[in-house]
Amino acid sequence: MAYEIVDSNYGKNWVKLLHVHRQGSVHTIREWEVCSELTLDSKKDYINGDNSDIVATDSQKNTIYLLAKNHGLTTPEAFGLLLCSHFLAKYSHANRVNILVEVHPWRRIEAGGQPHEHAFVTCREAVRTCQVRQERGALPVVWAGLKGLQVLKTTQSAFVNFVRDEYRSLPDMADRVFSTVVGANWRYDALRDVDYDASWATVREIVLDLFAGPAKGGVFSPSVQNTLYLAQVKILNQLPAVGEVEMVMPNKHYFAVDLSKFPGVGSATNNEVFLPVDKPSGNIRAVLARSRARL
């Protein structure tokens, strides 16, 4: 029988680096984890054990450090584009480069109401991610993302009118605790004159706004699906450089504890004490893209 390797890549995973930019006494830091993956134009390393074309993963790791040193770090998207360009220009037998970046969130400590010059505290609200992929002879494709953004609201959410069949056990709930951990990825159709930092912050704010609503009263969510979709629509409306948005919202359930067995201590009804249940969880996902006109 004949076999064919239809796809392959190799590289260095999760290269950790902290970059310090010093402007006098004021320092700025960026801590990232970077993955690099190369796809070569031959498979002789796999088939014949011939390693003569392999760019060592150690070389890839050191390239990440050296480019960070020589060019600095601005945004993960810009650094991903730089790495793709470098690897394709340096190694003519590399057909494809894939770069992944995760950002560790830091913010300045405030001391006496002033931002500190060189001291920082972690602020892990959401993890910023990025993927840049480029094939030889083609334009790069840039995806940005966020993950681990856990949100919760105690009202203004419902679970009603779902399919009723012999398998369903949960009753309708006109008012419930709604919690999810948002994951989102979006693809840029345009790469020039894009403010990647501002775009990421905009997506985060849109997600929080569509989930929470105004400070007084909030906003009603008839379903996770609807909240997810409205956020995607607003992202595409506000960010014309973005062509596609993928979003995932798993349910993080909080069930009211059954205290009906204790009526003598005033616990016949309970809307104050809940049991967090993270597994199993419902998982809602959708990809929303701009419609292309059909001829």
Q: Mind telling me the catalytic residues?
A: 12, 57, 253
Partner residues linked to 274 by β-bridges? 256
Tracing tokens 């995760």 back to the chain, one arrives at: 102
Nearby residues of 190 by Cβ (< 8 Å), 6 or more positions away: 240, 241
- Rounded to the nearest 5 percent, the helix, strand and coil shares of the chain are 25, 40, 35
Partner residues linked to 188 by β-bridges? 142, 242
Distance between CA 44 and CA 61 in Å, rounded?
Answer: 23
**Nearest to residue 246, comparing CAs of 189, 284, 219, 279?**
284
**Nearest to residue 184, comparing CAs of 48, 287, 261?**
287
Coil vs helix vs strand at 200: helix
Copy the structure tokens of residue 270: 């309970």
Identity at 173, one-letter amino acid code? M
Phi first, then psi, for residue 144 (nearest 5°) are -115, 165
Which residues of 214-292 form beta strands (DSSP E)?
Answer: 242-250, 253-256, 274-277, 283-289
Distance between CA 162 and CA 157 in Å, rounded?
Answer: 14
Q: Is the peptide bond before 280 cis (omega within 30 degrees of 0)?
A: yes
